[in-house]
Structure 1
Amino acid sequence: MQRLDFAKASPAAYKALLGVENYVRESGLEHSLLELVKLRASQINGCGYCVDMHARDARAAGESERRLYAVAVWRETPFFSPRERAALAWTEALTRLSGQPALDADYAALKEHFSEREMVDLGLAISAINSWNRLAVGFGLQPAA
């Protein structure tokens, strides 16, 4: 049950976060990669609304069912490119900040596949989805039945 409509309660805050989202969308990072990142962070954060939305968005953009099902276990499958794997590892590292002994290794892998600007833009995308997740979970946003 939705506790609060955060967009209506604070339109300026919603608009600010939407501005970050729009920047990320126009950053040049692949749309398919961004959807995988958003889906993985949302899975980790237990955000049913965002998992539903980003799975649908990825599917509409041409993502395969097989890869969508495998995002939660991406390390155990051969379905993702080295660039996607680096982005998914970085997503997990930044989403689960406490107890990150492998942060240096994840960063090294990221640096192999992304430019410095792309690394910052990806970090911003991960920060944005974590913010959306926290608002959606905290205020009880639910996917439509």
Structure 2
Amino acid sequence: MTARLNNAQSYAPEAMQAMIALEESFKTSGLEQNLMDLVRLRASQINGCAFCIYMHSTELRHAGEDEMRLYMLNAWRESTLYTPRERAALGWTEALTRLSETGAPDADYDALKAEFSEAEQVKLTFLIGAINTWNRLQAGFRAPHPALRRAAA
């Protein structure tokens, strides 16, 4: 894969500052860090953004996330490894990331409403919108993820 642009964000510094400010707002959103990173990783999987998949899976591993939960994320609906709150967030993530296909179904919203306050619903929706924007920047311009170096045998 060849990058289409190097440091695409540098061409729109005002937009980049706004995205960084939005990301900073999530730190005080009251949403759990682990939940936010699972949402980011799931949206990135759907969007096929290797850069973001690498980044968010690495962050989750460093934060102590169980490896099996990372492996099973693509099949979270068939797994018992996720809490009802995580399941509601992941369902909403999929509904909004695939909005043209799903139309944000009432069932996904009802699950969200059962686990999240109205303020949390809005903050989570902003988070999902933000990761989808990051995915489009990184995947669209083919930003490469860091290469792993294997230890010499």
Report the TM-score range of the alignment, normalised by the length of the smaller protein.
Answer: over 0.9
CA distance in 2, matches of 1:101, 1:119: 17
- Cα distance in 2, alignment partners of residues 131 and 106 from structure 1: 21
Look up the equivalent residue of 1:14 and give its one-letter code. Answer: M
Question: 1:99: Cα distance to partner?
Answer: 2.5
Paired with 1:120 and 1:101, the residues of 2 have a C-alpha distance of 17
Whether the 8 Å CA contact 2:92–2:104 is kept in 1: the answer is no
Q: Aligned runs of 1:15-94 on 2, under 5 Å?
A: 15-94=17-96
Q: Deviations over 1:73-110 (max 9, x none)?
A: 10111000000000000000000001316610000000
- d(CA) in 2 for partners of 1:22, 1:137: 22
1:26 Cα deviation after fit: 1.9
Unaligned 5+ segments in structure 1 are none
- Larger Rg, first or second structure (1 or 2): 2
Shift >6 Å, 4+ stretches? none
Q: Matched residues in 1 for 2:123 and 2:97: separation?
A: 15
- Aligned match of 1:119 in 118, 121, 125? 121
> What is the TM-score of this pair, normalised by structure 1?
0.96
Q: Matched residues in 2 for 1:35 and 1:98: separation? A: 24
Q: In structure 1, how many angstroms separate the alpha carbons of the residues matched to 2:35 and 2:15?
A: 26
RMSD between aligned alpha carbons? 1.0
Point out where structure 2 has 5 or more consecutive residues left out of the alignment: 148-153
Q: Percent identity at matched positions?
A: 53
Which residue is 1:3 aligned to?
4
Give the residue type in structure 1 aligned to 2:36. Answer: L
